[in-house]
Structure 1
Amino acid sequence: MANTPADSPDEFSPDDFYGRPSKSQVKREMLALQDLGKQLVDLSSDQLKRLPLGDELHDAIRLAQRTTSREGRRRQIHYVGKLMRKAPAEAIRNQLDIWKNGSRAEAAAMHRLEALRDLLLRDDQALTQLIDDYPQADAKLLHGLVRNARQEARKNAALLQGQEPQRKHYRALFQALKQLDKLDDETPTEAQ
């Protein structure tokens, strides 16, 4: 006798029969889109312009931002959630996450520049290596910034407790390294 779904329940899953998500799953997804829509309503107009939103969704969000009535705002946000079904939700979530937490790549770049600055303050060879690695760098400017930052660090070490340390040259060195890093990123590679 041939096996039927009732004879061997291990061979079939509910997805085989229905081929679609459950009502609960659909509701969870809709509520998530509505929550995302609420987050969009709280954004500034400049941030909204940088998101991949359709005209209808953008207009609905702007209307929700202008609505002052509690019930009217709730209904408008619900409508925004409905329009979110057609929007690229994952791309929007990614951009919101970057705005909220910062890009991991940006954070890593900042940490790398901070470590380089600290190395420059400790080691003379690091400055020579930096100038070799970045021939477009202004060696005289970098040398002056490192020298001033080192003097500033020595003065800060001699401060009494409660006195405010100076960080002007320390920050200026970081900004110079940041500009140098930007120039390096903008320079086209020879492989292109």
Structure 2
Amino acid sequence: MVNRLPASLWSKPRWIKPNGLTAPTRTSDPPPYPQEPQPVTRNPTEPSDEDYGPSRTQQRREALAVLTLATQLLELPASRLARLALPDDVRHEIDVTRRITAHIARKRQLAFLAKVMRRHGDEAFASVRAELGENREKHRQENAAMHRLEATRDRLLGEDETALAELIAQHPQIDRQHLRSLIRQARVERDGNKPPRAYREIFRLLRELPESGPGSDVA
């Protein structure tokens, strides 16, 4: 009698792991390799990013610059403001804003003033910005010169005579006797806690001296 294998053993054998579990069979092929992204060509009829105008960040920056300029115009004296080339409606709104004293109302009017200025564009205020920039530079130079004169005066009031000798060497035409008298009087005023009349007179005298170049004052 011929021994026949059971029908269950005729099928394709499966791999059996040591723990008794069968290994899963692969049911699909691996995914294909990723392809290189294809360049996107823009339709010439579609508008580019530049065609949409300035971004919100740029618009906010420009609005803040106009608001800053409006604030500077409000702080100017009337005599200086009259010399600036401003549009009539802008000048009118500046006068209206100056007459407002309430904080909230003034802030609202300032925003409206900046809005009126934006209607004219930056070209209308190019000369105004240039003049204000020159005035700021001039003001900075004047402050620096004043600080140098104050430093020179403080050195003259010291016990060291070097500062006085340097000042006389730079300005031989100075009245030495008068300057020495002012220095002695200023020291007395300082030590006696008296009004600084001579102290101020020394500053006025130094300010009237001709400048021989940047940083020529004794510092």
**Structure 1 and Structure 2 fold alike (TM over 0.5):** yes
- Greater helix fraction, Structure 1 or Structure 2: 1
2:148 equivalent in structure 1 = 112
Aligned-pair identity in percent equals: 33
- Provide structure 2 residue ranges, at least 5 long, that are not aligned to the other structure: 1-36, 42-47, 214-219
Q: TM-score normalized by structure 2?
A: 0.55
User: What's the RMSD between the two structures over aligned residues?
Assistant: 3.8
Instruction: Give CA deviations for 1:125-159 in whole Å, capped at 9, x if unaligned.
Output: 32222111112322232122112212223323xxx
Which residue of 165, 175, 183 corresponds with 1:146? 183
Q: How does 1:1-192 map to 2 (within 5 A)?
A: 6=40, 18=50, 21-49=54-82, 53-54=84-85, 57-67=86-96, 75=112, 77-83=114-120, 85-86=122-123, 87-88=125-126, 90-91=129-130, 94=133, 102-103=139-140, 105-122=141-158, 123-156=160-193, 165-180=194-209, 183-184=210-211
Larger Rg over CA atoms? 2
Alpha-carbon shift at residue 38 of structure 1 (Å): 4.3
List runs of 5+ in structure 1 lacking aligned partners: 8-15, 157-164, 187-192
Whether the 8 Å contact between 1:117 and 1:174 is mirrored in structure 2 is yes
Measured in 2, the distance between the counterparts of 1:108 and 1:72 equals: 36
1: distance between equivalents of 2:89 and 2:211? 42
**Count of residue correspondences:** 159
Q: Distance in 2 between matches of 1:142 and 1:49?
A: 42
Taking structure 1 as the reference length, the TM-score comes to 0.62
1:175 maps to a residue whose letter is R
